[in-house]
Amino acid sequence: MKPDMNLWSGRVDPEANTARWHQQVRPFSTAAEPGTTLIGFCSDEGVRRNKGRVGAAKGPAAMRKTLASLAWHQSGPVYDAGDVVCAGEDLEAAHSALAERVAECLAHRQLPIVMGGGHEVAFGSWSGLAQHFMTQEATQAQPPRIGIINFDAHFDLRDPGLVVSSGTPFAQIAQVCEQRGWPFQYACLGVSRASNTQALFDKAEQLQTLVWEDRAMTQGRLAEMKSDLNAFIGRCDHLYLTIDIDVFPAAQAPGVSAPAARGVALDVIEPLIEQITASGKLRLADLAELNPEYDVDGHTARLAARLIHTLTL
């Protein structure tokens, strides 16, 4: 779908050198110079299947509207590739369509940033990255070492054999990696022990997941977290960053499917995101679970917009 550029509107300052996002974002085309491309994923079918509160399908529009008036400090171009829309309950078709859109952007030297939608977005996003590497398979001596870094209150490792939902994407990815003989390298940062069963912790351990619980993610332990993350990044050739906005405290992010009673503060997570982008290995990012229907004064949309702003600096 072509992007609705009418969403990119906002104030225009009369002074010189006062550009804002809405004045700079352009529609994506295959002739675009290398840069960052935004893709919307309008779906909360996975959230519905996971028995969460729906509304995240409207997240991409809310992110665009909030991004539009942010001050422009980006060094490279940013494009909008429109939305992938989940039609009814056909999540599987939406995943395929998103994978195609992501792979197309990667083929044209873009950094795709996917705006969800429920966290079911992760399987479609990763599938696009995998599709991109599969087209290069003949020239690769080894399978791609893709590291998945997930800031999330939940592991999302539930059994997809029961139902595919917003709670299963990383188990789905692990299955595909096993089938292809690819390494599965997963870091989940911000996990809430109160919100994940022992079975999920056991599954994470089985998959050798790097785990940091929310209560441990404090400013006082930032250096330790950075060290662990640096070691993880060192084992990877490529990084996929996925941010479930419910990792933040409910006071910072009330507009999500499952607000966090504790969460991890932005001033702890932001330096880690900057570390990831500085690695030079980031190939793909997405944000999930912004639910405008439950947002309070746009707090969550502002947080999501800031995260995208940080990713594109």
Beta strands across the sheet bearing 185-191: 26-27, 78-85, 35-42, 110-116, 282-288, 238-244, 146-151, 185-191, 210-213
| Residue 292 CA: distances (Å) to CA of 57, 124, 257, 295 | 9, 22, 10, 5
User: From the CB of residue 289, how many other CB atoms can be counted at a distance below 10 Å?
Assistant: 32
Residue 210 near residue 228 (C-beta atoms within 8 A):
yes
Q: Rounded to the nearest 5°, which phi and psi values hold at 146?
A: -100, 120
Q: What is the percent of the chain where pLDDT is above 70?
A: 99
What tens digit of pLDDT does each residue of 76-130 get?
999 999 999 999 999 999 999 999 999 999 999 999 999 999 999 999 999 999 9
pLDDT of residue 139: 55
Residue where the block lists tokens 């056991």: 202
What tens digit of pLDDT does each residue of 191-231 get?
999 999 999 999 999 999 999 999 999 999 999 999 999 99
pLDDT of residue 19: 97
Average pLDDT over residues 258-273: 96
pLDDT of residue 141: 72
Which pLDDT band holds residue 1 (cuts at 50, 70, 90)? Answer: confident
Which pLDDT band holds residue 186 (cuts at 50, 70, 90)? Answer: very high
Average pLDDT over residues 232-248: 98
Write down the pTM of the prediction.
Answer: 0.97
* Residue numbers belonging to the annotated binding site: 119, 152, 154, 156, 244, 246
| Residue 26 CA: distances (Å) to CA of 102, 196, 218, 308 | 17, 41, 38, 16
Mean pLDDT computed over every residue of the chain: 96
What tens digit of pLDDT does each residue of 41-54 get?
999 999 999 999 99
Q: Report the 3 state secondary structure along 94-116.
A: HHHHHHHHHHHHHHCCEEEEEEE
pLDDT of residue 287: 98
* Residue numbers belonging to the annotated binding site for Mn(2+): 119, 152, 154, 156, 244, 246
Which pLDDT band holds residue 8 (cuts at 50, 70, 90)? Answer: very high
Average pLDDT over residues 230-246: 98
d(CA 49, CA 39): 23
Collect all residues with Cβ–Cβ distance below 8 Å to 164 and sequence separation of at least 6.
Answer: 46, 49, 91, 92, 120, 123, 172
User: For residue 178, is pLDDT > 70?
Assistant: yes
